[in-house]
Amino acid sequence: MAQKTHFADRLIAAIQKKGTPICVGLDPRLENIPAHITAKAMKEKGKTFEAAAQAILEFNKGIIDAVHDVVPAVKPQFAFYAPYGFAGVWAFEETCKYAHEQGLVVIADAKVNDIGSTAEAYANAFLGKVGLFGAETDAPFVCDALTVNPYLGTDGVKPFIDVCKKQGSGIFILVKTSNPSSGDLQDQIVCEQKLPAYELMGHFVDSWGADEIGKSGYSSIGAVVGATYPSQAAALRKLMPQTVFLVPGYGAQGGGAEDVKPCFNSDGLGAIVNSSRGIIFAWEKEGDEKKFAEAARNAVEDMKQDLYAI
């Protein structure tokens, strides 16, 4: 679906409208989906990938219905759909479409990366228009933004930026990721600039996004900065004031409100904080699987309060 307005402006407006920078991660691990949903799917379609896809979509719709009026964005993680092959990817497509229909900003988390001409194919698939027998059609995945891995450098990222410019979509480029080993490469000090590699990438992202700044003052070329590394986030926030940070690592991965604080600018904006398991599987703590959607909404409200405190 063509987006003619500016991605960062749209995201910032959604954050302001909902009054919170929460992104709900749609990581539908099949084994954590309530039994009444999986049992129904299995009864109708057996122990098949199609049944898994049906269960995932029903679960996601329940979550989306429960949270769409209180959060600005969702982030479906491609890795949790791929294990069910094309049926799983169908559920991914339908999830993106449904979330979009419910007015949510959809950030596809696939961390794609490739050389220029191949990256262009990914950019079209997730964010652009697809050539089809001499015509052009809407991309299959109805996304507003996509995560991108920068290991290949400028010409691997440029095709995404070109599509963003044309379609009013956005990307979030991995800069400092939330996992324990992210420092193996990202924390290495590069000699020429005497900076850790993640700051070097921060400079790249800042320059790649310089021409994509909207009325909100933020660029559609964003960065992924983990909540689990608050001091590194503070350095990056200073280095790239006009970049929106997509912040994973809150909740299940150990990041708290104090940890995400450095990701925000003094205007209270500039970051969108993701929580996946802590929200969508909140029912496991409360114990009533039938109330999984209500539990998710409650978890959003708790997270909202937690973030208010910062």
- The residues annotated as belonging to the active site are 111
Beta partners for residue 75, in sequence order: 25
61 to 100: interface string for its own copies, x by CB under 8 A: ----------------x-xx-xxxxxxxxx-xx-------
The rounded distance, in Å, linking the Cα atoms of 8 and 14 is 10
CA angle 303, 63, 53 (to 5 degrees): 135
* 189 contacts its own copies (rule: CB under 8 A): yes
* 178 contacts its own copies (rule: CB under 8 A): yes
* 115 contacts its own copies (rule: CB under 8 A): yes
Return the number of the residue (5 or 137) whose C-beta is nearest its own copies.
137
Return the number of the residue (184 or 286) whose C-beta is nearest its own copies.
184
Return the number of the residue (181 or 266) whose C-beta is nearest its own copies.
181
Return the number of the residue (5 or 154) whose C-beta is nearest its own copies.
154
The rounded distance, in Å, linking the Cα atoms of 140 and 270 is 29
Closest approach of Cβ 214 to its own copies, in Å?
26
| Pair 143, 96: CB distance under 8 Å | yes
| Pair 223, 205: CB distance under 8 Å | yes
Q: Considering only 190-198, 210-218, 237-245, 285-293, which stretch makes contact with its own copies by CB under 8 A?
A: 190-198
Query: How many Å from the N-terminal Cα to the C-terminal Cα in the chain?
Result: 36
Give the residue from 14, 1, 27 showing the smallest Cα distance to 253: 27
Closest approach of Cβ 177 to its own copies, in Å?
5
The rounded distance, in Å, linking the Cα atoms of 233 and 227 is 8
* 278 contacts its own copies (rule: CB under 8 A): no
- Per CB under 8 A, contacts with its own copies among 118-177 are 118-119, 121-122, 124-126, 130-133, 135, 137, 139-141, 149-156, 174, 177
The DSSP 8-state label assigned to residue 250 in this structure reads B
* 188 contacts its own copies (rule: CB under 8 A): yes
251 to 270: interface string for its own copies, x by CB under 8 A: --x-----------------
The rounded distance, in Å, linking the Cα atoms of 42 and 209 is 46
- Per CB under 8 A, contacts with its own copies among 235-254 are 248, 253
For the record, the structure tokens of 21 come out as: 């920078």
* 43 contacts its own copies (rule: CB under 8 A): no
Return the number of the residue (4 or 47) whose C-beta is nearest its own copies.
47
How many residues bind its own copies (CB under 8 A)? The answer is: 78
The rounded distance, in Å, linking the Cα atoms of 40 and 18 is 34
| Pair 169, 127: CB distance under 8 Å | yes
User: What is the amino acid identity at position 27?
Assistant: D
Give the residue from 229, 228, 215, 225 showing the smallest Cα distance to 245: 225
Of the candidates 4, 47, 231, 309, which one interacts with its own copies according to CB under 8 A? 47
Closest approach of Cβ 309 to its own copies, in Å?
26
- Per CB under 8 A, contacts with its own copies among 218-237 are none
User: What is the amino acid identity at position 154?
Assistant: T
Q: Considering only 25-33, 59-67, 215-223, 258-266, which stretch makes contact with its own copies by CB under 8 A?
A: 25-33
The rounded distance, in Å, linking the Cα atoms of 186 and 302 is 32
Return the number of the residue (185 or 310) whose C-beta is nearest its own copies.
185
